[in-house]
Structures are given as C-alpha cells and as structure tokens.
Amino acid sequence: MYSIQAHAKVNIFLKITGHREGYHTLLSRFMRIDDLYDTITFEPCECDTFTIEGCKGVPLESNTIYKAYKALNEHTGDLDLLNFFYHHKVVVTKRIPSQAGLGGGSSDAAAFMRLAKQACNLLISTEELARIGSTIGADIPFFIYDYPSANVSGFGEVVEPFEEETLSLELFTPKLGCDTAKVYKTFKEHLLPHIRLGSFIGWDQLTSKEILGKIHDPILLNDLYKAALIAYPELEQMAPKGWYYSGSGSTFFRVKDDK
C-alpha cells in the first residue's frame, strides 16, 4: 500500500497582474500548511476501471485526481501506470474543506502524481510533472514542488522557492463554498480594469511575516477578496475581524501569536 499527504496552502498575498489567453495572471506568496492535509492512498483492488473512493459528490470526470491520471497516461504512455491502476484503487481521506481557498483539489492531484511516479517508477522529472499539472490546475505546480513557501506567478506555472520560516497559522472556514470560476469571473467583470501593478512592487522579496506586519487590510493583500464579497455577499458577515483571506475560497487565517 502506498500513501502520501496532500497539504493545504494559504495565499499570504495574491495580486492579479493581467489577463491573457482567457486566463488571469498573478503574483502570489503560497505557504504550505503542514498540519492540515488530505491523505492519498493506493490500495490493492482488482478494478475494471480507474477507481477513486472518498470524494463524495464529485463525478469522476470532474475529479482533479482522475484528470491527473489521464494527463500522466497521455504524456508517458507507460503501460506500468495503466496496469497498476487495474490492481489498485485510489482512496482519499479528505480533511481540507472544498471551495475554501486552501487548494485541496489541486493538492490531491499533485500528491497523486508524485505518488504515482514513485509507485510506477515513472521516468519523469519533477519539472515535467509540474508542466503536466499546470494543464489541469493553476495551483498544482506549487504542490508538485512541495516547497514550504514560494512566490508563484504567471498562470501559476512559475514557482520560485522562498527561503523563510513558515508561520504558525490559525484557519477559519465558514460553512460556505466559493466557486473559483465564479470569483475570477466576477473579478474580470468588476475589478480587472482597476488593477495597479505598481502597488505591490517588491512584495515578493519580503518575508511573509514582514508583509502581514505592514499590511493589515485583507482586500489590499488579496485582489480576489473583493470579488468574492461581490459574488458572495454573505461572506462579509462571516468574516472574522482582523483576519486575512486566502485564495478565492471562504477561508480566513491569522498568525497564531497575532491575537
């Protein structure tokens, strides 16, 4: 039996830098959350088709793990990969809430790819895995590299490790899911013309602690927060005062000592 942890992340800051080819470009600081993770396990099972357990309510064709499997299969053409999943099923133990801005689906897909590489002895580099992952989801390359902290830019495919001490963070996720596509669409319709690229010059050189120490307004730190509030007005009533906002979901965070 093979097993791997798929960690959550937060966006210390997230700034939209433009829009091209139908997608938004960004600059963001991603930080891995070590104490919140899903578990991906490959368990022996005679399967007629690729089988995933533990993702209730998610159709197979929409599941990021299945998309990762298909992309790996198409890229490598490796029969060992195909045969392995006739004799193993994928079991997901979910702990990361969905549509929360914590990257759960992307982390699961990345962890699957990393574990499949190991289990099937795939002759593929981490960089290749990241490139394949980027065709599935913008956050996947960060999770492929598994850096504790990184500056992420472009469409999410440029991942540069950032050397810093990771912060001990407290998370709050209300019972509300925020659809990423809806939040980005809202940003494009209402806020894209107003982005100011000069307003965050140098942020990628500051530590996360320095950034959070200088800027206390979650709307200034994360361009998608205002879009989420427009798309989901009830989120404003759920937001705890003085907390920061992650990704495009419904999760807020603060430094544990910052109370």
Q: Domains of the chain: which residue ranges?
A: 2-161, 169-255
Identify the pLDDT of residue 21. 77
Residue 258 pLDDT > 60:
no
Q: Write the pLDDT tens digit of every residue in 3-59.
A: 999 999 999 999 999 988 788 999 999 999 999 999 999 999 999 999 999 988 888
Q: What is the pLDDT of residues 159-196, one digit of tens each?
A: 999 999 999 999 999 999 999 999 999 999 999 888 88
User: Whole-angstrom distance between the N-terminal and C-terminal Cα of the chain?
Assistant: 42
Separation of alpha carbons 222 and 30, rounded Å: 12
For residue range 130-162, list pLDDT tens digits in order: 999 999 999 999 999 999 999 999 999 999 999
CA distance 8 to 76: 28
pLDDT recorded at residue 56: 85
Instruction: Tell how strand 244-245 and strand 252-255 pair up.
Output: antiparallel
Give the dihedral sign, CA 136/137/143/144. positive
Catalytic residue, chosen from 108, 139, 146, 204, is 139
Whether residue 143 contacts residue 110, with contact meaning beta carbons closer than 8 Å, is answered with: yes
Looking at the domain 2-161, which fold is it?
Ribosomal Protein S5; domain 2 (3.30.230)
Judge whether 259 counts as a catalytic residue.
no
d(CA 18, CA 134) in angstroms, rounded, equals 18
Mean pLDDT (the chain) is 94
Contact 187, 223 (CB under 8 A): yes
- Residue 45 CB partners (closer than 8 Å, separation 6+): 51, 87, 88, 89
Other beta carbons within 10 angstroms of residue 98's beta carbon come to 16
pLDDT (tens digit, 9 = 90+) per residue, 203-233? 999 999 999 999 999 999 999 999 999 999 9
Q: Which range among 5-19, 54-68, 242-256 shows the weakest confidence by mean pLDDT?
A: 54-68
Note if 9 is an active site residue: yes
- The whole-angstrom separation of Cα 74 and Cα 53 is 23
Catalytic residue among 9, 15, 117, 226: 9
Confidence band for 76, pLDDT divided at 50, 70 and 90? very high
pLDDT at 66 over 80: yes
CA atoms within 13 A on the CB side of 159: 24
